Amino acid sequence: MKVMTVFGTRPEAIKMAPLVKALNETEGIESVLCVTAQHREMLDQVLELFQLVPDYDLNIMKPNQTISQITSNVLVGLEEVLKKEKPDVVLVHGDTTTTFAAGLASFYQQIKVGHVEAGLRTYDKYSPYPEEMNRVLTGHLADFHFAPTERNKNNLLRESINENIIYITGNTVIDALLEVVEKPYEFEDETLKKINFEQRRVITVTCHRRENLGENMENIFGAIRRLAEEFDDVEIIYPMHMNPKVRETANKILNGVPRVHLIDPLQYQPFVNLMAKSFFIITDSGGMQEEAPALGKPVLVVRKETERPEAVEAGTAKLAGIDLETIYAMSKELLVNQAAYDEMAHAVNPYGDGHACERIVKAIKAYGEKSTNSN
Ligand code: UD1
Ligand code: UDP
């Protein structure tokens, strides 16, 4: 049985790396890896860390690329690869444009699609944009749905997806996280090496969502600037996404502000260890809403909604929205109110036990054996 895994961005690579490794080690499965390289440097960092060598690299990234460009380049690029390789199943992950376009390209070749991290929903078509729709559309192209949680499964059932093809697996991000988090951890990055994590309170920040570009991002960075100016025992570390639009706004508002460190994206291993040593986290990232609870770190989510309410229910994540005053006030509360901080800072893990990949491989193998027997 031939299984092709397709991904293109940093978070997909992190969450699919342990799965590709598991597929590579499974007898009876020929595993092929195709990257679209919707991201370039940020993807390559992950490939290097997990020692993955793609069989195909579509190398599509263009500076300031549009969603239509990504979609059409993945569709056209993958057509050729799929025709040549003829996999039995294509695995895609999550909600990026690579995910949706790879699912569509596979459907056009009548190849079965397995959707990893299926069933998350905000029910708002434009938030996150275009991710909510990418995930919904991929869900309707998929033949197997690997849902991290029971809630994700129920979302799919409400859309009349057949229960027999939904598998609750946990999120593969926990598999990846457990592989790389280490104690004690020594940083190699020059900025991080100089920070005294015992005496300073570190706030780790990331921000990149398309719907936050522009005014929302200015509000978010404005709140961060105020925090840095007001609290002199705080260090703010912001490994900036490579998106030039994000960097421009971040540099405009945060460059030169005392105690704010604008650095390049970190390799996954130092990054999660930075999260583990942080006081709390401010982010609009999806994946970090899953990692932070597992690490027991409070997260303020700078978005209007989340498709990951499990972390909010568990108490470690709060929606802070995109208003400057609210983000500032909620952050300040964590810095001045010990009880409020303690209430959020506990390790819970609604997203799995680190064995998600095993469950996915098992389901794929069972499908392969069933189809062989019926031929
Ligand atoms: C993409 C995904 C988003 C995901 C995010 C994770 C879409 C539409 N968006 O958003 O769902 O949450 O990745 O980070 O699928 N760039 C580089 N080098 C890199 C990566 C990006 O230079 O390694 C720059 C390029 O100029 C590129 C721009 O960033 O054009 C934006 O990248 P793109 O993949 O289009 O969007 P993201 O905002 O990264
Ligand atoms: N991450 C990383 N280096 C960084 C910032 C984030 O490795 O400098 C990791 C983070 O731990 C998480 C993933 O990248 O696993 C999140 O990616 P991103 O925020 O780009 O996408 P999203 O999670 O929003 O889809």
Q: What is the pLDDT of residue 375?
A: 67
The question of whether 208 is a catalytic residue gets the answer yes
**Cα 225 to middle of ligand 2, angstroms:** 22
Q: What is the pLDDT of residue 114?
A: 98
Would you state the structure tokens that stand for residue 207, as one six-digit string? Answer: 């921000």
The question of whether 229 is a catalytic residue gets the answer no
User: Which residue has the least CA distance to atom 17 on ligand 1?
Assistant: 242
CB of residue 73 inside a 6 A radius of ligand 1: no
Judged by its nearest atom, the ligand closest to the C-alpha of residue 269 is 2
> How confident is the prediction along the chain (375 residues), in pLDDT tens digits per residue?
999 999 999 999 999 999 999 999 999 999 999 999 999 999 999 999 999 999 999 999 999 999 999 999 999 999 999 999 999 999 999 999 999 999 999 999 999 999 999 999 999 999 999 999 999 999 999 999 999 999 999 999 999 999 999 999 999 999 999 999 877 789 999 999 999 999 999 999 999 999 999 999 999 999 999 999 999 999 999 999 999 999 999 999 999 999 999 999 999 999 999 999 999 999 999 999 999 999 999 999 999 999 999 999 999 999 999 999 999 999 999 999 999 999 999 988 899 999 999 999 999 999 988 888 876
pTM of the predicted model as reported, rounded to 2 decimal places: 0.97
The question of whether 313 is a catalytic residue gets the answer no
**Cα 308 to middle of ligand 2, angstroms:** 15
**Cα 219 to middle of ligand 2, angstroms:** 21
**Cα 60 to middle of ligand 1, angstroms:** 11
Which of 208, 209, 261, 303 does the annotation list as catalytic?
208
**Which contacts of 333-336 are long-range, i.e. CB under 8 A and separated by 24 or more positions?**
334/279, 334/280, 334/298, 334/300, 335/201, 335/227, 335/231, 335/234, 335/279
Judged by its nearest atom, the ligand closest to the C-alpha of residue 46 is 2
Q: What is the pLDDT of residue 9?
A: 98
Q: What is d(CA 57, CA 36) in angstroms, rounded to the nearest whole number?
A: 6
Q: What is the DSSP string of 291-347?
A: HHHHHT--EEE-SS--S-HHHHHHTSEEE--S-HHHHHHHHHHHHH-HHHHHHH---
Would you state the structure tokens that stand for residue 233, as one six-digit string? Answer: 């025992």
User: Which residue has the least CA distance to atom 15 on ligand 2?
Assistant: 287
- Other beta carbons less than 10 A from residue 40's beta carbon: 17
CB of residue 296 inside a 6 A radius of ligand 2: no
What atom in ligand 1 is closest to the CA of residue 44? 23
Q: What is the pLDDT of residue 364?
A: 97
**Cα 17 to middle of ligand 2, angstroms:** 14
What atom in ligand 2 is closest to the CA of residue 287? 23
The question of whether 95 is a catalytic residue gets the answer yes
User: Which residue has the least CA distance to atom 24 on ligand 1?
Assistant: 243
**Cα 287 to middle of ligand 2, angstroms:** 6
What atom in ligand 1 is closest to the CA of residue 130? 8
What atom in ligand 1 is closest to the CA of residue 65? 30
User: Which residue has the least CA distance to atom 5 on ligand 1?
Assistant: 9
Would you state the structure tokens that stand for residue 267, as one six-digit string? Answer: 């390799």
CB of residue 155 inside a 6 A radius of ligand 1: no
- Other beta carbons less than 10 A from residue 375's beta carbon: 5
Which backbone phi and psi does 243 adopt, to 5 degrees? Answer: -55, 120
User: Which residue has the least CA distance to atom 9 on ligand 2?
Assistant: 268
Judged by its nearest atom, the ligand closest to the C-alpha of residue 128 is 1
**Cα 138 to middle of ligand 1, angstroms:** 19
Would you state the structure tokens that stand for residue 197, as one six-digit string? Answer: 């994590």
The question of whether 241 is a catalytic residue gets the answer yes
CB of residue 270 inside a 6 A radius of ligand 2: no
- AA letter at 161: I
CB of residue 68 inside a 6 A radius of ligand 1: no
The question of whether 145 is a catalytic residue gets the answer no
